[in-house]
Structure 1
Amino acid sequence: MSPSKTAAGKPDRTLVAILSAIALLVVVALAVVFTRGAPEALDESRPEGVVQRYSTAVINGDTATANSFLTESAKSVCRGYYDSGPRPVRVVLISTTERDDSALVRVSLVSSGGGGPFGPAEYEMEDRFSLVKSGGTWRIEQAPYPLVSCTGLSKP
């Protein structure tokens, strides 16, 4: 007689219940992984919403959209231009300090490097965006160097 069958030749109910629970957990885990969408869009009238949209545009190579979030002075001078190395693949909000007409948004920038014996390496650094309020709208005055949008702008 097989250890997984009862005397009447029926499968052990405990084993069937355990296997069913495992299958259910696998299905739920896959559903969670595949239904996770893009991060929630933050309010564009807030400094962190402006930083989110700007960062997304820079990472996606959409210079025109990225430049629409910059102040005129940031558009005219490309300080700290970063032209080598990979762009960050993730930007994580750490904190926001907001005043009447200025704000600092601290972020963590995660970049992925070349592969190694254990897979690609990730590099993380903290930096900040400086924003000013102009005409009631938040604009980026200075961005972290890996996210500076300089294509088509004059460089020092």
Structure 2
Amino acid sequence: MTSKFSAARAVLLALAAAIVALVIAALLVVSLRSAPQPYEESTPEGVVQRYLIAFEAENMQTMQDYTIDGQSRSLCNPEPYNTQPLDVQLLRSSVGTNSATVHVRFDTRDSQFLPLPDLSAYDDVFELRKINGTWLIERMPWQVGLCTEKEMGY
């Protein structure tokens, strides 16, 4: 009876060690993930990337610099921005002569508690237009929408 108990104990210890090793490996992969490549500012991808950086820094003026003045702001959300870091991945883009679409993936999972990919990720798009040789955002996902001070109630 003692040998069966010892064998079961050894299996449980081996299983626990394997789980710990997997958790450590997952943490290493996440922590060693490379930073996103910087895109040239004159490209649609670069405009979107810099807009998102300004959004995360809550830099309204810079955000406005990357957008078309007459854009629709009907989805402005007066709630304070989420304090969690923004996790957006630029997936691909379709660029024409005077218009472009940049596809992005938002990941809203809290990696501390849910290390499984794609369970709370969703795709959206930025639409850009080229005006006087400069790419500007015409429409952006509501999650990173640009609100004016009036729309925010200031």
TM-score by length of 2: 0.65
**How many residue pairs get matched?**
120
Question: What residue is the counterpart of 1:43 in the other structure?
Answer: 40
Q: Which has the higher helix share?
A: 2
Contact (CA 8 Å) 1:88, 1:111: kept in 2 or not?
no
- In structure 1, runs of 5+ residues without a counterpart are 1-28
**Which of the numbers 121, 131, 134 marks the counterpart of 1:134?**
131
Contact (CA 8 Å) 1:88, 1:110: kept in 2 or not?
no
Take 1:153 and 1:99, find their aligned partners in 2: how far apart are those partners? 34
Question: What residue is the counterpart of 2:92 in the other structure?
Answer: 95
Question: What residue is the counterpart of 2:101 in the other structure?
Answer: 104
C-alpha spacing 1:140/1:128, structure 2 compared with 1 (3 Å): same
Partner of 2:108, secondary structure, is: strand
Cα drift, residue 154 of structure 1: 4.1
Question: What residue is the counterpart of 1:78 in the other structure?
Answer: 73
Alpha carbon RMSD of aligned pairs, Å? 3.1
Partner of 1:72, secondary structure, is: coil
Contact (CA 8 Å) 2:76, 2:151: kept in 1 or not?
no
Partner of 1:119, secondary structure, is: coil
C-alpha spacing 1:52/1:100, structure 2 compared with 1 (3 Å): same
Question: What residue is the counterpart of 1:21 in the other structure?
Answer: none
Cα drift, residue 50 of structure 1: 0.2
- In structure 2, runs of 5+ residues without a counterpart are 1-27
C-alpha spacing 1:58/1:140, structure 2 compared with 1 (3 Å): same
Question: What residue is the counterpart of 1:26 in the other structure?
Answer: none
Partner of 2:74, secondary structure, is: coil
Contact (CA 8 Å) 1:88, 1:112: kept in 2 or not?
no
**5 Å matches for 1:113-152?**
119=113, 123-152=120-149
Q: Which has the higher strand share?
A: 1
Take 2:109 and 2:86, find their aligned partners in 1: how far apart are those partners? 7
Give per-residue Cα distances to partners, 1:5-57, cap 9 Å, x unaligned.
Answer: xxxxxxxxxxxxxxxxxxxxxxxx7xx84xx7743321011100000000111
Counterpart of 1:79, as a letter, is S
Instruction: Calculate percent identity across the aligned residue pairs.
Output: 29
Take 2:34 and 2:59, find their aligned partners in 1: how far apart are those partners? 21
